[in-house]
């Protein structure tokens, strides 16, 4: 049965229509389309009346009926089918064709057959319209569900990064305020013990001094760990100081040349932004050492016309088969961190070796642009 629901016109209901017709159908109401189809049917009936029996226009009637079924509704198209049959029979009657038949039932039979053809056409098109409408609804629902799932996944990723950052800050603070203070007290006690042994002229003085030296080395290592976990101070120049200390510590611990370049002061007033930039540099340097086997790493911070740019370049193996983690979790985390602070993350291979990772934080009000190469 034809659909009883009168739906709004849909320019995509029949992709075979010319583009101009699609635009016209999309910009007019179902009532306007229905009246237009009725007018076209009258014109076809008049032409059919003028052509007589030499030319049959039964298929031409199907055009406005099809448009009515697709863009107005099934019942409206059924009514237009009845109207088409009526004006066809009326045209034959006024043309005097009824006198050429042997029985008055012949026009009725022909009209019934034509109506059945139109009714079948309306049913098929209405069914097609309902199926396409249902498919579009399902596609929209799937798209909305996918958008919700993507948003939820991004929210969870952001929360995981924030939780990880909070835990690292807490551990760093505990190391600084707890373990470092305890080791400092231990070193003082050892120093007092060494002085007592020295005053008594005992030979264990050297061992006591060695223990004090080892404890002081432990204090230095614990403080470096605390700075790595909670590196950026609240001042606007904290990022520059943290990156400079990080480069020096990397050189000392890993035996590679790691230098920090910053030709002019770059002030980051947002502690969250500074922390994320530091973590990006930290992860990039770690990847360069572990997977790129780099011997020289440069961490650069600069303020350009479009924003603040952090870059980490090295002379390592680059992202080749020699670095199995290329494109792994580390890059995704860095990209997520850049996205969280409104930045753009990019990776570019150098020739003949090495890679550069960069993050651009646009200035407020700066026009969007691509990441510089």
- Which pLDDT band, with edges at 50, 70 and 90, does 17 fall under? low
Question: Domains of the chain (ranges plus CATH)?
Answer: 19-151 (no CATH), 235-373 (3.30.565.10)
Confidence of residue 12 (pLDDT cuts 50, 70, 90): very low
pLDDT in tens, 245-286: 889 888 888 889 999 999 888 888 888 888 889 889 988 998
- The per-residue pLDDT for 208 is 82
Distance CA 274, CA 234 (A): 9
Q: What pLDDT shows up at residue 76?
A: 85
Spatial neighbors of 271 by CB under 8 A, at least 6 apart, are: 232, 234, 238
Q: Give me the residues paired with residue 258 across strands.
A: 297
Q: To which H or E segment does residue 184 belong?
A: helix 180-199
**What is the per-residue pLDDT for 1?**
41
Residue 153 has pLDDT above 80, yes or no: yes
Chain centroid offset of residue 48 CA = 57
Exposure of 244 by Cβ count < 10 A (0-12 exposed, 13-18 middle, 19+ buried)?
middle
Evaluate whether 340 touches 327 at the Cβ level (below 8 Å).
no
CA distances from 33 to 2, 44, 71, 77 (A): 18, 16, 8, 11
């Amino acid at each position: 049965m034809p659909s009883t629901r009168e739906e709004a016109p849909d320019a995509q209901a029949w992709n075979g229509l010319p583009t101009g017709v699609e635009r016209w159908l999309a910009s007019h109401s179902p009532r306007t389309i229905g009246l237009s189809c009725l007018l076209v049917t009258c014109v076809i009936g008049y032409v059919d009346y003028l052509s007589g029996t030499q030319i049959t226009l039964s298929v031409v009637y199907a055009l406005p009926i099809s448009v009515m079924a697709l863009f107005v509704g099934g019942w409206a198209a059924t009514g237009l089918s009845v109207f088409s049959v009526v004006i066809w029979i009326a045209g034959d009657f006024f043309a005097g064709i009824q006198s050429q038949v042997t029985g008055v039932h012949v026009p009725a039979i022909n009209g019934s057959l034509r109506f059945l053809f139109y009714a079948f056409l309306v049913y098929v098109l209405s069914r097609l319209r309902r199926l396409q409408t249902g498919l579009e609804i399902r596609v929209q629902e799937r798209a909305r569900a996918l958008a919700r799932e993507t948003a939820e996944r991004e929210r969870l990723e952001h929360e995981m990064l924030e939780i990880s950052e909070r835990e690292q800050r807490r551990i760093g603070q505990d190391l600084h305020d707890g373990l470092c203070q305890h080791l400092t007290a231990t070193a003082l006690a050892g120093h007092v013990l060494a002085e007592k042994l020295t005053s008594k002229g005992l030979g264990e003085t050297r061992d006591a001094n060695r223990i004090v030296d080892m404890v002081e080395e432990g204090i230095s290592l614990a403080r470096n760990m605390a700075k790595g976990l909670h590196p950026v101070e609240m001042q606007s120049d904290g990022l520059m100081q943290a990156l400079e200390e990080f480069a020096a510590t990397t050189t000392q611990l890993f035996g590679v040349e790691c230098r920090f370049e910053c030709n002019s002061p770059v002030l980051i007033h947002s502690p969250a932004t500074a922390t994320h930039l530091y973590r990006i540099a930290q992860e990039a340097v770690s990847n360069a050492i572990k997977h790129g086997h780099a011997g020289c790493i440069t961490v650069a911070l600069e303020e350009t016309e479009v924003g603040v740019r952090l870059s980490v370049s090295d002379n390592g193996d680059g992202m080749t088969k020699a670095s199995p983690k290329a494109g792994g979790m580390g890059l995704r985390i860095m990209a997520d961190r850049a996205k969280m602070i409104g930045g753009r993350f990019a990776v570019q291979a150098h020739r003949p070796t090495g890679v550069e990772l960069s993050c651009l934080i646009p200035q407020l009000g700066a026009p969007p642009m691509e990441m510089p190469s």
